[in-house]
Amino acid sequence: MTTSTGRRRGSLLLWHLTALVLLALVSYPVIWTVGSSFKPSDRIVGALDLLPTSPTLANYRRAFEGAAGVSLLRFSLNSVLVAVLSVIGTVGSSSLAAYAFARLRFRGRNLLFTMMISTLLLPFHVMIIPQYIVFNQLGWVDSYLPLLVGKFLATDAFFVFLIVQFMRGLPPELDEAAEIDGCGHWRIYANIVLPLSRPALITASIFSFIWTWNDFLGPLIYLNTPEKYTLPLALRMFIDQTSVSDYGAMVAMSMLALLPVILFFLAFQRYLVSGVATSGLKG
């Protein structure tokens, strides 16, 4: 009895030690970047100290003022709008497609699945101009539509594939039993498979939010009016290789831009605790 608790305590100590050492390694650049945001603007690039010697809030003051006559709040709201709609669109449309690929058998499924995977393989740069032509023809340039429509149509195969892999991990007896009980596919999808795929859906939500939040190229190409700009465009406004750059304000704004993402992650990662094991089979 005593040796067992002793061993347990020892392994707990080892666990914390390992976790902390790893954490220190991984966090060093994070702390550095946060520290940078408190350094004077001309002491950021090339400076070799982890923390500022004479910390200043000036960078944050300039970042809070916004840029080019548009307020920080405006940029943030734009980013929130695009990111939230992207999450809804991505998770909704991708889980539908994933259900079909993972749980239904129909002719052409393998062919379509292969096509879906193949859309992951082409570097996106060669798609930029053809896609721009499509959206320009539709008259959607300078609106959020080009950034969102694809999300509602599950064009990012990453998410479909991700959810497929999780849905295939669910025991088939579940929906077979449900079918006997007289459930149609919509109800199996909505009432059984979706709740059981919660870890996958949460994961997809987190990624979808963060990737949209950080997306630079899409907003760059499709948004023209500065009032519609999102945060990644806004923080690039402080730098320009042809003139004097304000690295301080740029780093400070990118730190501010991180806050919502961190909150989003903190809020959603809690739901990663319980999947099939607890809520599904037992509940």
Partner 1 sequence: MFMLRRVTRRGVAAAAVVAMTATLVAACGDDSGSGSDGKITLRYSWWGPAERAEIMNKAIARFEQQNPNIKITPNFSDYAPYWQKLATETAGGGAPDVMQMDYTYLSEYANRGVLLDLASQVDKNIQIKELLPGLQDVGVIDGKRYGITVSGNTFALIYDPAAFEKAGVTVPDAWTWKEYQDAAAKVGKAVKDDKMWGATDYTQITGILETWLRQQNKELISADGKLVVSKEDLKAFWEHGQRMRDLGAIVPQSKVAQVAPKSAPGADLVASAVGIDTYLTRYAGETKRTFAIAPMPSDDPNNLGLIFRPGMLLCASSKTKNPDAAAKLINFMINDAEVGKMFGGNRGLPASTIQREAALPVLSPQDQAVLEYENGISDQLKPAPLPPAGVGPVDAAFLRIGEELNYGKTTIDKAVDQFFTEAEQALSAS
Partner 2 sequence: MLDQTVTSGAAAPEPETGTGSRGPRARGAGPSRRGRQVRRREGLAGGLFLGPWLLGLLLLTLGPMLASLYLSFTDYNLFTAPEWVGLDNYRRMFDDERYLTSVRVTMGFVVLATPLKLALALGVAMLLARPRRTQGFYRSAFYAPSLIGASVSIAITWRALFSDDALLDRALQWLGLPAGGWVGDPSRALIVLVLLSVWQFGAPMVIFMAGLQQVPQELYEAAEVDGAGWWRKFAHITLPMLSPVIFFNLLLETIHAFQVFTSAFVVSSPNPGSPADATLVYTLYLYLRGFADFRMGYASAMAWTLLVAIALVTLLLFRTSRFWVHYADGGDR
Residues in 159-188 at the binding interface with partner 2, rule: CB under 8 A: 160-162, 165-166, 168-173, 176-177, 179-180, 182-187
Total residues at interface with partner 1 (CB under 8 A) = 50
Query: Which partner in partner 2, partner 1, none is near 245 (CB below 5 to 8 A by kind)?
Result: partner 1
Beta carbon of residue 139, minimum distance to partner 1 (angstroms, whole number) = 6
CA distance 283 to 254: 42
Query: Which partner in partner 1, partner 2, none is near 163 (CB below 5 to 8 A by kind)?
Result: none
Query: Which partner in partner 2, partner 1, none is near 209 (CB below 5 to 8 A by kind)?
Result: none
Radius of gyration of the chain (CA): 24
Distance of CA 223 to the CA centre of its chain: 20
147 close to 218: Cβ distance less than 8 angstroms: yes
Q: What region does 43 belong to: left with phi over 0, alpha with psi -120 to 50, or beta? A: alpha
53-92 burial string, b = 16+ CB within 10 Å, else e? eeeeeebbebbeebbeebebebbbebbbebbebbbebbbe
Residues 183-212 that bind partner 2 (CB under 8 A): 183-187, 189, 199-200, 202-203, 206-207, 210
Query: Which partner in partner 2, partner 1, none is near 155 (CB below 5 to 8 A by kind)?
Result: partner 2
Instruction: Return all residues near 277 (Cβ < 8 A) that are at least 6 apart.
Output: none
Beta carbon of residue 188, minimum distance to partner 2 (angstroms, whole number) = 9
Beta carbon of residue 272, minimum distance to partner 2 (angstroms, whole number) = 6
Say which residue the tokens 């025991």 belong to.
Answer: 171
Beta carbon of residue 119, minimum distance to partner 2 (angstroms, whole number) = 5
Task: For the beta carbon of residue 266, count every other beta carbon within 10 angstroms.
Answer: 9
Q: Which among 263, 262, 217 has a CA at the least distance from the CA of 236? A: 217
Binding characters for partner 1, 83-122, by CB under 8 A (x = yes): --x--xx-xx------------------------------
Phi and psi at 25, nearest 5°, equal -60, -50
Beta carbon of residue 108, minimum distance to partner 1 (angstroms, whole number) = 26
Burial of residue 244, with CB atoms counted within 10 A of its CB: 0-12 exposed, 13-18 middle, 19 or more buried: exposed
Query: Which partner in partner 1, partner 2, none is near 64 (CB below 5 to 8 A by kind)?
Result: none
* List of residues contacting partner 1 (CB under 8 A): 42, 45-46, 67-69, 85, 88-89, 91-92, 128-129, 132-133, 136, 139-145, 148, 152, 190-192, 194-195, 216-217, 220-221, 224-226, 233, 236-246, 283
